[in-house]
Structure 1
Amino acid sequence: MIKKILLFVLLMTATLVSAQDIIKTKNSSFTLHLLGHGTLYIDYQGTIIHIDPWTKVGNYESLPDADYILITHDHGDHLDAGAISPILKDNTVIIAPSVCKDGLTSFKDVQFLTNGDKNKTPWGNIDVVPAYNLVHMREPGKPWHPKGVGNGYVLTIDGTSVYIAGDTENIPEMKNLKNIEVAFLPMNLPYTMTPEMAADAAKTIQPKILYPYHFGNTDTSKLTELLKGSNIDVRIRDMK
């Protein structure tokens, strides 16, 4: 009951907490709740899909419980057990790469999936795709995000595909992504992409709608300028 009251209060003041965009699907629509940084959740007809929940950008005691939680990798701003616990139900499914095992030992119903895996759900499909660095390194020979370790996800919801890139650069595998309606691309240094890299990735993927996210102090207007005339709807939200 307390959580329902808190959720009602959150919904009544949602514009103060997060941006919300409605995306049309073949037969219906879903709502994107953009909490900040690399964190968001999707509400499709009452099915709640949380992406990289992080306590720094949301009060998870008052956010809707998760039917699915997708974790892209094990860095603390993406794998946060303190954000996961308050949104768990008995049947919540957690999907993560195996590098997250140590951080998820206290949770049941965890599916550890790797690049190339697929998961069919009642609302559509989850395809696991690569997310890694080619250029930016922690130190010589050691990328911030090594190949094969982290996950990106393509969610197909009632025929509409949403690409959650995770922490990645404009990698060659993006050429394999087809018919993406909505894309979330990271754009912060030194960990992911420059605006030029993100623009190159967007031109490769050709989404109808692009959200730069996880962008820190990067000037998002540079990306908008680089994609001028591309017919990509670049939507800037508070996703630092």
Structure 2
Amino acid sequence: MRFHKFGHACLLVEDADARVLIDPGAFAPGWEDLRDLTAVLVTHQHFDHLDLERLPALLDANPDAAVHTDQASAGILAEKGLRAEGVAPGATFSINGLSVEAIGENHAVIHPDIPIIPNVGYLLGGRFYHPGDSLTVPDRPIEILGAPTAAPWLKLWEAIDYIRAVAPRIAIPIHEKAAAAPGMYYQNMSALAPERTAVEIIDDGEPREY
């Protein structure tokens, strides 16, 4: 798999036959210029994962790309005349031969007084899991994890314990734009990750293959 990080939670994931963009949000520059996408996946409706200003032009430029989102985001997109298929937790589908499974159901708790919204994570090719804004631990081994780094709903110790619970071979820090100094988070995540886990930091705009 080839990964290209656009920033925060937005990644382009490619294999031999599929080009899949995940969470095209407001904190990630450059994804609006992508072409020949096979699919766009959205974990949930928050603006840092779903930029409603730039998404229409991206979909116009990629008319053959399938769009899969959590069910609430699908409704939001439909109200704006944008095509999307809502994905229920546990659903499985294929994107040009690349298997995708939806894992998890809810966004992590930000505060008890703030309503919880739907959030689905995506397991691609049985290898890479992007949890969106959740700490859902899949019920199977995960090779590559998109590891949330900093957020209003996340403490550093929770980020580290999540990596420990999933125990992937590789953890790619994501959701870092909420931190003023993400390097401090990366340092602790690397130092305290399981021995078998390599924390691989991908800079914005950098391609990486695993």
| Residue in 2 that maps onto 1:59 | 30
Matched with 1:80 is: 51
Unaligned runs of 5+ in 2: 205-210
Q: CA RMSD in A?
A: 2.2
Q: Name the aligned partner's letter for residue 70 of structure 1.
A: L
Amino acid of the structure 1 residue aligned with 2:72: V
Seen in structure 2, the aligned counterparts of structure 1 residues 56 and 204 have a Cα distance that, compared at 3 Å, is: closer
Instruction: State yes or no: 1:113 paired with 2:82.
Output: no
**CA shift for structure 1 position 141:** 4.0
Q: Does 1:150 align with 2:119?
A: yes
**Contact (CA 8 Å) 1:65, 1:86: kept in 2 or not?**
no
CA distance in 1, matches of 2:41, 2:7: 16
Letter in 1 for 2:120: N
1:195 aligns with 2:156: yes
2:64: which partner in 1?
91
Distance 2:13 2:65 in 1: 14
Partner of 1:26: none
The one-letter code of the counterpart of 1:187 is T
Amino acid at match of 2:15: Y
The partner residue of 1:204 within 141, 154, 165 is 165
Contact 1:37 1:214 in 2 (8 A): yes
2:38 and 2:96 in contact (8 A); partners too: no
Aligned equivalents of 1:168 and 1:55: distance in 2? 19
Q: Distance in 2 between matches of 1:46 and 1:127?
A: 17
Report if the CA contact (8 A) 1:118-1:127 is conserved. yes
Q: Give runs of aligned pairs for residues 133-148 of structure 1, distance below 5 A.
A: 133-134=108-109, 136-137=110-111, 140-142=112-114, 146=116
Runs of 4+ in 1 over 4 A off after TM superposition: none
Contact 1:154 1:161 in 2 (8 A): yes
Corresponding position of 1:4: none
Using the size of structure 1 for normalisation, the TM-score is 0.72
- Residue 43 to residue 121, structure 1, CA distance change in 2 (3 Å): closer
Query: Paired residue for 1:232?
Result: 197
Of 162, 169, 191, which aligns to 2:128? 162
Letter aligned with residue 107 of structure 2: Y
Stretch of structure 1 that moved more, 125-134 or 64-73: 125-134
- SS of 2:162 mapped into structure 1: helix
Identity %, equivalent residues? 22
Residue-by-residue CA offset, 1:5-63 (whole Å, 9 max, x unaligned)? xxxxxxxxxxxxxxxxxxxxxxxxx2100110111111222521001113542234532
Q: Distance in 1 between matches of 2:134 and 2:40?
A: 20
| Residue number among 143, 149, 168 corresponding to 1:181 in the alignment | 143
Higher relative contact order (CA 8 A, sep 6+): 2
